Amino acid sequence: MNNEVWTLDKDCLAAYTEDSNIMQKVKRSYPMFTVMATYQKEGRVIAVQYKVPKAKRRAALRLFR
């Protein structure tokens, strides 16, 4: 599985994951993470990119490692 976190701008990070377990955790426990993009193959979601507030940087780095 491929996971990445990078700086988007001074207030936000971007986080990318292909792991469905992480996608479920974000949906359940991190409502402040907003979906920027979904990547699909043959009608199935294979990856999601999130916009993460800088205040949640530490949580994002731990979750997406």
pLDDT at 27: 96
Supply the pTM of this predicted model: 0.92
> In sequence order, what DSSP letters do the residues of 4-63 get, joined into one string?
EEEE-SSSEEEEEE--HHHHHHHHHH-TTPEEEEEEEETTEEEEEEEEEEGGGHHHHHHH
**Whether 54 contacts 17, CB under 8 Å:** no
Q: Which tens digits make up the pLDDT trace of 4-63?
A: 999 999 999 999 999 999 999 999 999 999 999 999 999 999 999 999 999 999 999 999
pLDDT on residue 36: 97
Cβ atoms of residues 63 and 25 within 8 Å: yes
Please give the Cα distance from 41 to 13 (Å, whole number): 25
Model confidence band, residue 1 (pLDDT cutoffs 50, 70, 90): confident
